[in-house]
Amino acid sequence: MRIEEIEVFWLRLELPDAVADAMTDLTHWDVIATRVTTDDGIIGWGYNCTLAEGSAALKILIEVDLAPKLLGKDPLQVNHLWRTVYLERHFTGITGIAVQGVAAPEIALWDIIAKAAGKPLWAILGGHGVTRVPVYSTDGGWLGFSEAELVANARTVKAAGFRGFKMKVGKPEIAEDCQRLAAVRDAVGPDYPVMIDANGRWDLAEARRAVRRFADYRPYWLEEPLHPFDVPAHAALARETEIPILAGETLYDKRMFRDFMAAGALGIAQPDVLKLGGITCWMEVAELARSFGLPVVPAGFNLMQIDVHLMAVTRHGLMIEYIPWLAPIFERPVVIDRGHAVVPQEPGIGTDIRADAIERYGMA
Ligand SMILES: [Mg+2]
């Protein structure tokens, strides 16, 4: 089997008004989809996402630099190809787009491997047949919602059976975040998981003030409180609070995770299949977390199609994130049933993009 053709499609979807976190007002969501065709006619799909920034650069990186290295190669050699392509990119950079760009073709190769075997990805990765994985919802916890909207959304999410409700924090005043969290806690009861995500907004002093005030409302985890690369600050915060610190969605290398884990800076690891350049490294980070005794939560971020497989093979995985914006573009969007994602049984991953979605949302 040889890779015969690699095509890249840039899609842009418009988002609802209230979608904001502590760092970004999101208006659009981009998908950089990669279709890889083999000489025996198997088509694999992978994708990348951006907040509508850097998309053109990602597309060019894949088309101009990565695709020529993959044409003619055997997709079954994904591990070797990943290392070759990734390591060759070191001059361009070892974080950001230079790594993230590898993810879409890498995921497409796994899709081909699974389709060629006639099995879903989780089975190729050694899964044993988990049929449902728990899901928490972020769609309703955005910073742009008023307190009343936030509370109503939390109630709706809980009633729909989701295993938790994640809300963004990082308002200009910590007191306001605290009031919003208190209102949500009051609405959903004492035991329902409520996660909070600061998207790297605070410095250590602010984060210390925040965790002291938040502790009474028992957040299930505190996500990305600090600059994503600051190991000592995360470690200091983790020593001071019983709220589990979850981070990793902005880390680009297994060694970065190792340093966080070795410093005691993480309570829960959050590897992102895009930021890590694909499935190969995601699995390595999940295994690393297991060796440190840490649970794993996939970064989510519109990756349900892939996360559902990863979660199905990760025994120390907790749950995946529900953000439904991309459902219209997939041939087979993940099915959510009473707070669980149904693990696909069809061959491949489920990353196939609809032809009419490329027509409708396609950019240059
Ligand atoms: Mg986050």
Structure token digits, residue 189:
């009861």
Are 286 and 310 a contacting pair, CB within 8 Å?
yes
pLDDT at 202: 97
Q: Which residues pair with 48 in a beta bridge?
A: 32
Strands 320-322 and 268-269: unpaired
**For 212, phi and psi rounded to 5 degrees?**
-60, -40
CA–CA distance, 289 with 169 (Å, rounded to integer):
26
Residue positions counted in the chain? 364
Distance 16 CA to ligand 1 centre (A): 18
pLDDT at 25: 83
The series of mean pLDDT values per 10 residues for the chain, 364 residues long, is 98 85 86 98 97 95 95 97 88 92 97 98 95 95 94 98 97 96 98 97 97 97 98 98 98 97 98 96 98 96 92 97 93 96 98 97 88
Distance 140 CA to ligand 1 centre (A): 14
Tens-digit pLDDT profile for residues 22-39:
788 888 999 999 999 999
CA–CA distance, 169 with 164 (Å, rounded to integer):
16
Helix (H) / strand (E) containing 259: helix 254-262
CATH superfamily for 123-342 is: Enolase-like C-terminal domain (3.20.20.120)
Structure token digits, residue 150:
């936030």
Q: Does domain 3-118+354-361 have CATH number 3.40.50.450?
A: no
Distance 223 CA to ligand 1 centre (A): 6
Residue appearing with tokens 């497989």: 309
Sequence spans of domains, the chain? 3-118+354-361, 123-342
Are 11 and 363 a contacting pair, CB within 8 Å?
yes
Structure token digits, residue 58:
């990602």
DSSP state of 146: -
pLDDT at 164: 98
Distance 199 CA to ligand 1 centre (A): 6
Closest C-alpha to 267, from 315, 222, 301: 222
Identical fold, 3-118+354-361 and 123-342? no
Distance 205 CA to ligand 1 centre (A): 20
Distance 130 CA to ligand 1 centre (A): 26
pLDDT at 364: 67
Neighbours of ion ligand 1 (CB under 5 A): 197, 223
pLDDT at 161: 97
Are 247 and 223 a contacting pair, CB within 8 Å?
yes
The residue type found at 335 is: V
Distance 113 CA to ligand 1 centre (A): 30
Distance 197 CA to ligand 1 centre (A): 6
Distance 74 CA to ligand 1 centre (A): 35
Distance 224 CA to ligand 1 centre (A): 6
